[in-house]
């Protein structure tokens, strides 16, 4: 016997894609294509999204009044849509920023498998640990690159973002962004160290059984 009046926006799960898009659009207006590209060179390292998710979400956001889509001519026949954040969009983004996060349960395939490594061939274990190292070394490299270009303000989107603020605000904004990426780099280093410890462990165990 519900009456049909419902608290529509209670906080559906996370919807972080929406906020990642809003975050990017607070730096400058962009087309869906620009956003997709920005996802690869910027937030994409914190929150990845493919085109097929971005375009529809932008249209939902426009329907919700969070962004304005402005059609721009492109060549002779083509057009493209450039999205601008609205005041309502800013307001929703700030609300989200001030709201505490909901932490989800741990769900980690790498550690799940590691807990049952006795079922795998030692060589397969080694291969997977080396892949773990390689993956996080790559991540770490990317994050350090981001860090560099944020520190020296050569990061294109970040530079655009700073232009919107008085230079007195720059250290604060830069500090937060670096803080976020430093955390990710530190996490990557932790994962590398862990996997390397695993590799040593496999060698030790192989040595023992060989000595039998």
Partner DNA sequence: CGGACCATGTAAGCGGTTACATGATTCT
Partner DNA sequence: AGAATCATGTAACCGCTTACATGGTCCG
The binding site for DNA (CB under 7 A) comprises 12-17, 31-34, 36-37, 48-53, 55-56, 58-59, 74-81, 102, 104-105, 107
Site string for its own copies, 137-166 (x = CB under 8 A): --x---------------------------
* Cβ closest to its own copies, residue 57 vs residue 191: 191
Whole-number minimum distance, CB 49 to its own copies, in Å? 9
Out of 57, 93, 140, 147, the residue judged to bind its own copies by CB under 8 A: 93
Selection from 177, 184, 176, 196 nearest residue 138 by Cα: 184
Please return the burial class of 18, using the count of CB atoms within 10 Å of its CB with bins 0-12, 13-18 and 19+: buried
Q: Residue 125 CB: number of other CB atoms within 10 A? A: 21
CA separation for the pair 44, 33 (Å, rounded): 14
**Whether 63 contacts 49, CB under 8 Å:** no
Residue 111, H or E segment: helix 109-114
Rule CB under 8 A: which residues touch its own copies?
14, 16, 19-20, 23, 26, 43-48, 93-94, 97-101, 103, 105-121, 124, 127-128, 131-132, 135, 139, 169, 171-173, 175-177, 179-184, 186-187, 190-191, 193-194, 197-198, 201, 205, 208-209
């Amino acid at each position: 016997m519900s009456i049909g009046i419902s608290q529509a926006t209670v906080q559906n799960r996370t919807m972080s894609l929406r906020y990642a898009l809003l975050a990017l659009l607070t730096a400058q207006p962009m087309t869906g294509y620009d956003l997709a590209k920005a996802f690869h060179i910027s937030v994409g390292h914190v929150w990845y999204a493919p085109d097929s998710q971005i375009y529809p979400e932008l249209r939902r956001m426009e329907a919700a009044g969070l962004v304005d889509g402005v059609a721009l001519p492109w060549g002779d026949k083509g057009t493209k849509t450039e999205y601008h954040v609205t005041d309502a969009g800013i307001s929703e983004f700030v609300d989200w920023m001030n709201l505490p996060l909901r932490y989800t349960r741990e769900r980690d395939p790498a550690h799940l498998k590691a807990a049952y490594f006795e079922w795998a061939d030692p060589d397969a274990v080694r291969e997977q640990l080396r892949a773990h190292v390689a993956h996080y070394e790559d991540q770490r490299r990317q994050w350090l690159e981001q860090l560099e270009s944020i520190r020296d303000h050569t990061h294109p989107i970040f530079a655009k973002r700073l232009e919107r603020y008085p230079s007195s605000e720059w250290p604060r904004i830069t500090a937060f962004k670096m803080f976020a990426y430093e955390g990710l780099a530190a996490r990557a280093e932790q994962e590398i160290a862990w996997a390397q410890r695993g590799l040593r462990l496999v060698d030790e165990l192989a040595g023992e059984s060989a000595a039998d």
